[in-house]
Every structure is written in C-alpha cells, then in structure tokens.
C-alpha cells in the first residue's frame, strides 16, 4: 500500500476568461492537472454581459469558442476533448445547440450529455462544460 508521500505531485495550472463571476464566486474557467483539463460551465458571457440574447445556437458557438481558448491556453486542443456536458434552459432549443456541438465536434466525437436545466440568469440559454486529456487529440484536419 502506498502512502500519500509516495504519490507524484502534479502541477496545477488554471486560466480565467475575465468574467466577474470567476473572481467573485471563487472558480477558474479551466484547470489543468497533469494531462487533464477541466473546463467550468461556460455561458455566452462577454465583457459587457450576455452575448446573443435569444439565440441558443449563437450562445453555444460563443461558449465553445471560450472553451477552446481556455483549453489552448493550458496546452491542449479541441481535439483533446473527451467529454462535454450541455445544459439548456429551453428544451425546444436542443436541436439548434446540438447542431453547433456537432459542427465543432463531429470528427472528435467526445462523450456528451445534453439536459434541460434552470440556468442562472434568464438571458442565458446554454451552458457547456468540457473535459480534455492532453495528448489524446483526434486529428480533425
């Protein structure tokens, strides 16, 4: 049996996207430990607040752009994503959001979950989380 002293210490790095929520509520946009990158629930929040009100597809694209930037900032690529979780405020938006996900991940094909949820703030129609394992990239070229 190994003790905790025998375990190899893995460096932990994190990035912020600059939204007020991250500092105010104590979380990072993404955290990397070893080869794993975990991306927090990401909404279409820009410097001036919600982006693309009323357009779930555009909100999904914006959130995925933020997710991709966070993963790249921590040394990964979109091709390294192995799991996504999508939360939508209105069930009727599922297909528009799923199409955007398919456009970005069609060749990568991570494990995925899409559910309806009560999101924080009426303007937010979509929230997306992602997990990546650096070095597992699927060639998407």
Q: Whole-prediction pTM value?
A: 0.90
Q: Which carries the bigger pLDDT value, residue 48 or residue 1?
A: 48
CATH number of 11-133: 3.30.1330.40
pLDDT value for 2: 47
Q: What is the DSSP letter of 8?
A: P
What's the whole-number mean pLDDT along residues 114-141?
92
- Whether 8 has a pLDDT exceeding 70, the answer reads no
Compute the mean pLDDT over every residue in the chain, rounded to the nearest whole number: 92
Spatial separation of the C-alpha atoms in residues 100 and 60, rounded to whole Å: 7
Sheet architecture: strand order including 36-42: 12-15, 30-33, 36-42, 126-133, 81-88, 111-116
pLDDT value for 51: 95
Neighbours of 80 (CB within 10 A): 24
Spatial separation of the C-alpha atoms in residues 98 and 87, rounded to whole Å: 11
């Amino acid at each position: 049996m190994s003790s905790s002293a025998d375990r190899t210490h893995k460096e932990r790095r994190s990035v912020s996207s600059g939204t007020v929520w991250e500092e105010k509520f104590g979380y990072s946009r993404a955290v990397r430990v070893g080869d794993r990158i975990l991306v927090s629930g990401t909404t279409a929040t820009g410097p001036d607040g919600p982006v693309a009100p009323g357009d779930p597809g555009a909100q999904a694209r914006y959130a995925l752009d933020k997710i991709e930037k966070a993963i790249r900032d921590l040394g990964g690529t979109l091709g390294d994503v192995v799991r996504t979780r999508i939360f939508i405020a209105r069930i009727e938006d599922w297909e528009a959001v799923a199409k955007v996900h398919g456009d970005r991940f069609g060749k990568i094909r991570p494990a995925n979950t899409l559910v309806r949820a009560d999101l924080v703030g009426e303007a937010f129609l979509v929230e997306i989380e992602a997990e990546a394992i650096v070095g597992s990239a699927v060639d998407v070229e």
